[in-house]
Amino acid sequence: MTAAVATAVALTLGASACSSSDSGDGGGSKGGSSAKADAALTSVVNASTKKGGTENFEISDVPDSLDPGNTYYGWVQNFSRLYARSLTTFKPAAGKAGLEVVPDLAEGLGVPSDGAKTWTYKLRKGLKYDDGTPITSKDVKYAVERSNFAPEALSNGPTYFKAHLLGGDKYKGPYKDKSKDGIASIETPDDTTIVFKLKDAFADFDYLATFNQTAPVPQAKDTGASYVQHIVSSGPYKFQSYEEGKSATLVRNTNWDPATDPIRKALPDKVNIRFKVNQTTIDNNLMSDNITVDGAGTGVAPETQPKVLTNAKYKAQLDSSYAGATGYAGLNLHVKPFDNIDCRKAVQWGLDKASVQAAAGGDPKGDVATTLLPPTVNGYTKFDLYPSAGNKGDVAKAKDSLKACGKPNGFTTNLSARSDRPAEMAMATAIQASLKKIGITVNIKSYPSGKYFSNFAGVPSYVHEHDLGIIMTAWGADWPTGFGFLDQIINGSAIKPSGGNNVSELNDPAINKALNEGIANTDATARTKAWGEVDKLVMENASVVPLVYRKNLLMRPTSATNVTVTQAYLGMYDYLLMGSAK
């Protein structure tokens, strides 16, 4: 059943995310010097099988964490596959093929039973860590326990396993529960078998298994939050060095056996990554061919855009990919006056989304959004509950809503945005100007992206104390289905003390129920239909303001090899495939 579901979803999504030409897993690849704009959307650009060289990444801020069990940023999910193997993963391939879920640590996809309430995986034989010790199913179980049940140490990642495993609401996590058995609903009858027992049917489980939370962690080597300093590798690369907030260097893991790993080619000898590099500096380094890739995968800064779009050489190196993501503003239900639905609707009606799109970089960086689900995600339904001419807002209806919420003269609120993301800051400024026209005064508060969710916008107590009524964010699917997109940003069970992404703190019983019933439905057609209906419930609640369906204006330097866009990881380049000719 799971293989059929995955294939059907991949075909559906690929048709909407990619243009008509598709070279599958690399056929029809193009050389770097002759490749055209958008070539990497459907083919592998500058294909190479040559081993060696150094790959250089740069990032405008710091990661939330490079620990596979303590991250939620899409680029880290993509990057960490170099050193952390999960039970399943997305096939490293061009076009539609890149949405196919394939076995990774597991020798096959999950075997469902009990109406998709039980899922069983068998690990490949011969798997080893970088120190040569065997990888076992118990290490995978432990990885899930530490990543989902220890918020006191690891707060950044999602908690799908905690929400859906039997007894997930009772288990205290491996740092508090000192029993050797761990959570009873993950069984390891032998060193190569792992069985997940769920409260309800979960038709997307093979997608969930792609999360690097299933990357094995040996319990004896785990040091909680400081594990990031000494990560034990299960992939083709291991850490040679890691300097918090500055850089990391990966080198070959000599105990990685390619015979156990049919999907990784592991071409570069070394991978360097530098943190906290100014975005325009990163853009200039791409243009000068001084680095291999902008690791964040969100595209060039707005101020760089004119330079690359008007220069024929640079334009040929661009790929404008749909990110499978929506940039939006969350209205926090516990920050007055957004506890009143009419005050929320005033923002919905009054916002000039056309100006916000222009601030983000215009058409090359995204389309105006009217729904939370983007068009490239399975379950998207086109609708607009707050329409206006030219997407410029409806001042009259906004003022009617202000009267209805008891604020006829408007009100003042704070808005949070990420300081090192120029496009997001520009969008925040556009929102500020737009809402001023209807009497809402917006004060912008900026924070660094690396700690945005763990310390600020994802911490309810901080949000309430600092009156962050509007929270700028963007979201891409954890996996490319409606549930994989929606659950962690609108389900009440996703609200956490820190590191949360349900920034509105939406906890509506009808929405929670619709989500849980949808994922338990093993009928793929009915399940897909359910996600559009959930999206409408959220928009009726008015706690989320969709802004843009995001595009990434990516740039590939001429020395980068095996470059292709993956829709499985938010329309950035596939880091498992990439290499460098340098």
344-381 pLDDT tens trace: 999 999 999 999 999 998 998 899 999 999 998 989 99
Cβ neighbours for 577, distance < 8 A, ≥ 6 positions apart = 44, 92, 93, 265, 562, 563, 564
Above 50 in pLDDT, residue 9?
no
Above 60 in pLDDT, residue 417?
yes
Answer for the pair 299, 552: CB distance below 8 angstroms, yes or no.
yes
Could you tell me the pLDDT band of residue 178, with boundaries at 50, 70 and 90?
confident
User: Which is nearest to 292 in space by CA: 554, 567, 80?
Assistant: 554
- Per-residue pLDDT at 34: 64
- Per-residue pLDDT at 450: 87
- Per-residue pLDDT at 62: 94
What is the pLDDT averaged over residues 232-248? 97
Structural domains of the chain, with CATH: 2-275+556-580 (3.40.190.10), 322-552 (3.10.105.10)
Q: Give the residue carrying structure tokens 């390619």.
A: 258
- Per-residue pLDDT at 65: 96
Count the alpha carbons within 13 Å of 6 in the hemisphere toward its beta carbon: 25
What is the pLDDT averaged over residues 523-529? 92
Distance of CA 188 to the CA centre of its chain: 29
pTM (two decimals): 0.83
Above 70 in pLDDT, residue 35?
yes
Measured distance CA(261)–CA(103) in Å, rounded: 9
Cβ neighbour number for residue 112 with a 10 Å cutoff:
22
Above 50 in pLDDT, residue 127?
yes
- Per-residue pLDDT at 480: 86
Query: pLDDT tens-digit profile of 73-90?
Result: 999 999 999 999 999 999
- Range in 18-22, 92-96, 169-173, 464-468 the model is least confident about: 18-22
Quick one: DSSP state of residue 258?
A: G
Quick one: DSSP state of residue 41?
A: G
Largest CA distance in the chain: 69
Above 60 in pLDDT, residue 24?
no
**Chain-wide mean pLDDT for the chain?**
92
Beta strands (DSSP E) in 27-182 are 54-58, 88-90, 101-103, 111-113, 118-122
